[in-house]
Amino acid sequence: MTAWQSDETAGRLELLGVPVDRVTMAEAVGRCEGLILRRRPATVVTVNPELIMHAARNPGVARAVREADLVVPDGIGVVWASRVFGRPVPERVPGVELAGALLGLAAARGFRVFLLGAEPGVAEEAARRAKRRHPRLVVAGVHHGYFGPEQEPAVLDLIRRARPDIVLVGMGAPRQELWIARHRHRWSVPLAVGVGGTLDVLSGRVARAPRWMQRAGLEWLYRLLRQPARIRRAAALPRFALKVLLDARRRNLL
Ligand code: UDP
């Protein structure tokens, strides 16, 4: 599979076999609203280089991303790669900001939200803070993300009974993408979004990088400095960059 191929879908590019929608944050939120109103189980993936590298190794992950209804460019590495191939995405659409915007949309439109993921207590706190910010927001339910296969039916049942319009799944990539792909046709949730560590941020447990670092495309570095254990995962970044550059070279784009 090549790093980039044109896609028949307008506004979509493909990186190492993974589709990425060339949307702005505002367009992404608009697309999400449309998917919710369509009322069929839809999924959104927030893609970064790490997930693309997972997809290159694991066909299940690749399928989960390909079958998503919307794939937004979450990582700066994805923005960079889109430029290397001359089909730039308009901007970075960080999962944490998309999640925040969807909470605002939910409050404005009366969509019910379920928060799934993170350590026990985190989703509750995230819900409390979100409701403080958006008093009209309906949080239909919450559940932590540390459950085994034996508890899975109970969690699914809880989600079904809560009748959410949106489920934000923050269980880390690619666990959340695989989980959503496995269950999306068994629940009747109009929109499921994999949001990584967003619930930790929404709950106030984890701070986002300062704005200047976000603007400089260094949010990944900030996260690495705060959580040095991420170093092994960060090793995917240079490997991703190398793959992209080699492919661009092969295509005489460099
Ligand atoms: N997590 C979870 N269940 C697990 C493992 C992780 O709910 O079995 C949560 C974890 O508590 C954290 C999130 O998933 O809230 C992963 O955050 P991270 O920043 O690593 O995700 P990324 O945004 O890098 O995918």
Atom of ligand 1 nearest to the CA of 200: 15
Output the CA 44–ligand 1 centroid distance in Å: 17
Coil/strand/helix, residue 150: helix
Q: Does the pLDDT of residue 4 top 60, yes or no?
A: no
CA gap 235, 112 in Å, rounded: 38
Closest CA to 69 of 7, 14, 21, 113: 21
pLDDT digits (tens, 9 = 90+) for 103-144: 999 999 999 999 999 999 999 999 999 999 999 999 999 999
**99 Cβ partners below 8 Å, 6+ apart?**
168, 193, 195, 198, 202
Give, using CA atoms, the residue closest to atom 17 of ligand 1.
Answer: 197
CA gap 160, 191 in Å, rounded: 13
Ligand 1 within 6 A of CB of 196: yes
Q: Hey, which of 54, 116, 171 would you mutate to test ligand 1's pocket, going by the most ligand atoms within 8 Å of its Cβ?
A: 171
CA gap 143, 165 in Å, rounded: 16
Q: pLDDT above 70 covers what percent of the chain?
A: 96
Ligand 1 within 6 A of CB of 177: no
Ligand 1 within 6 A of CB of 172: yes
Output the CA 140–ligand 1 centroid distance in Å: 21
Ligand 1 within 6 A of CB of 170: yes
pLDDT digits (tens, 9 = 90+) for 90-104: 999 999 999 999 999
pLDDT of residue 251: 85
pLDDT digits (tens, 9 = 90+) for 211-245: 999 999 999 999 999 999 999 888 899 999 999 99
Confidence of residue 186 (pLDDT cuts 50, 70, 90): confident
